[in-house]
Structure 1
Amino acid sequence: MTNLDLTIIVPTYNLGRYLPATLKTIQEQTIDVELWLIDDASTDRTAQTAADFVRGVPNYHATAFDRHRGIGAARNFGIDHASGRFIAFVDGDDLIAPTFAETLVRGFTSGVVATAVGYDWWHRSRGGPDRFRLLSQAEMFEQVSHHGTEIGGYIWNKAFSHAALDAGNIRYKEQLRIAEDYDFTAEYVAHTRGKYAYNPTVLYKKINRPNSTMHNFSWDDRRQEDKIFDHIYQLKQLI
């Protein structure tokens, strides 16, 4: 167990040369964090890279599944084993700025139940001043329930209250292959009353890896995405 404020959860699967760069940016954070690396039965050396990285660091942990279970199962394992008051997710091929963790934690002022920062993806990097603005539950839901919003429905530029995740029993739906981030984040906001804090400073860089899961969706996956967003729109009734 640790008494660190933030747990960062990183699912890994056949990341090859990408993972070391991600781990280096986690190592360079300006505050200490708890780290969980969960390998989803990689067939390359990804699991070994993770195990070597955490060796000798008490607040760093690595585990490996004995069979491929999917990114949702890996993230759920991380949530269930995290000890931090707040939980953030980083994809194992992405890059975070040194102040990523510190900024997410700083946003948790009185009554705030989740924080978010700016991100760079497909040359989207509007950025903004290094200060938080507060959103209501309804305003945050509008941001996370639609494509193309500034804050977005992704999980990797956000931190969530661990207590609220447990209170609402918010976990990944492990059967989903597409739009699982939107489903998770919308469920969290719809079931978690409070204030939401957003800092537009760009602190997360999404890397477009050619063989990543998002480049291999089928038509069945796309149909599933439509059903997920139908469910998300229904969640608005809870607010």
Structure 2
Amino acid sequence: MNVHSPSPGKVWLVGAGPGDPDLLTLRAARLVMNAALIVHDGLVDPAVLALARPTARLISVAKQRSRHTMQQDEINALLVREALAGRDVVRLKGGDPFIFGRGGEEAEACRAAGVPVEVVPGISAAIGAAAAAQMPLTHRNHASVVSFVAGQCKGLSAQDWTGLAGKGRTLVIYMGLATSEAIADKLIADGLAPEIPVAVIENATRPQMRVLRTSLAGLPALVAARKIKSPAVIVIGEAAGEPELNTLRELALEAAQ
């Protein structure tokens, strides 16, 4: 007797955005509401997960610093295993799947196993946080370049960030709370002014959101004193300055023209 394997299910890599469920794309919201199986990160807000139907199976693969409930290879294997068993999988990721979300690795694993995969983009943490804080990452009077970097990764001290921050540039750092002191030291050693404005945006777009400002030299003390916790992004550059000061700078520029 021939036993036929079921046709593989499909994996959707879905961006859950920065937190507020109202910022999901329509496609993402439909997939979450109709999914039978959702594999989600710890950064996905509970309000987003609440959109799932009561019968949906939810699998958390939340990661915390120095404690991973599941290694990335195991997550890849989970997605492939469920799909090869004929089940469709919504892989729900905070922000956008392809910006520090390891979505590329998961897509590669699915393709290698012959599993259909589709990516549904989401509003990234940096874009969502800046918008919620009314902090333009680019502005014709302040910055024409914006860069995203990961502040918690192997070989941080050896990475070359020269030119990513400074006049006319905005630098956004993901996962930088635990390494804030090393980040400040690194950028100052690279020649960035210690007094350059810095903002930390915690729990962006959520009711408990905080926007905390300091200088680059004051960043480590701010993180410690205000007990800032993840999820948070660090914004470095003129865009991170106090809005009132930015307005005064703009008026001065217009008067000089």
TM-score in terms of structure 2 length: 0.30
Greater relative contact order structure (CA < 8 Å, 6+ sep): 1
* TM-score, scaled to structure 1: 0.32
